[in-house]
Structure 1
Amino acid sequence: MKIKQNNRFKIKNIELIRQLKEGDKLADKYFIFINDAMGGIPCHNRSFGSKADFEYGPNYEVLFQFYADKG
């Protein structure tokens, strides 16, 4: 799959992002983790696919990173 464009979304409540910590939940279902390899940026990821996809490897994952300083 070729990425044609990086998606960026404007964060309306930057203070909410600055207060995120490990284990918090967004929308009552997405767990936050702190990605130390990226400099301590709050992130969450989501996997897609069927049970067979996860077993044999063609599943897909999306990683969301929240940059409060960039808005």
Structure 2
Amino acid sequence: MLFCGSHFLFQLPYTTVGNGSILENVSIEHSVILDNCHLRNVERIEDSLIGYNSKVYRQESQRRALRLLVGDDCEITM
């Protein structure tokens, strides 16, 4: 268990969290989170790379549609 700000993070081995990043209510494994990222309410992240200054949120909603803002030369697997 890793303490990030005022929230706990469930962190498994082989994960790096960059400086200034805030993770709230997140489970993460085998991933790299670069500097100044904000992740919130994500049930599970694995085998991932989150770029500098990125934000990843899951909202409490009944909507099943995804809202994506994807940069150049990215790959998304769902």
Give me the TM-score of the superposition, normalised by structure 1: 0.26
Structure showing the higher helix proportion among its residues: 1
Give me the TM-score of the superposition, normalised by structure 2: 0.25
Higher relative contact order (CA 8 A, sep 6+): 1
Structure showing the higher strand proportion among its residues: 2
